[in-house]
Amino acid sequence: MKKIFLIDDDSDDRDVFQAALNSIELQSDFVQAENGEQALAMVSNKEFKAPDIIFLDLNMPKMGGLEFLQKIRLIPEYKQVQILIYTTSSLQKDKDSVLAAGANGVITKHYSFDALCDELTFLFK
């Protein structure tokens, strides 16, 4: 069972993402946070087990994805955790900056539920 952590300020995007995970019948422990500040508080709790993969929205209030990425990569238990930026941004400069900060890849948010399911199936199967 994979532990998946989604950090996204949009509740609809979080709901769709979870529905897509359920749709592809992936056995997972799904955890979510509304922004980088909340996510950092969660991972700072000693009882929080590091996830296998983090999907991180880039543009969020309080603490955005890039700032969270920079901070979490300083935590020893999170240096090797796979982090994929999950964003609507298609700007190359955004992709370059998150990859330089330690992201493992960038996934553009899909406007199609089926496309998201296909992307997740590709990642996990």
3-state helix, strand, coil in the chain (%, to 5): 45, 20, 35
Count CB neighbours of 82 within 10 A. 13
Per-residue pLDDT tens listing for the chain (125 residues): 889 999 999 999 999 999 999 999 888 899 999 999 999 999 999 899 999 999 999 989 989 999 999 999 999 999 999 999 998 888 888 889 999 999 999 988 878 899 999 999 998 87
Distance (Å, rounded) from C-alpha 20 to C-alpha 14?
10
pTM of the model: 0.93
pLDDT given at position 8: 96
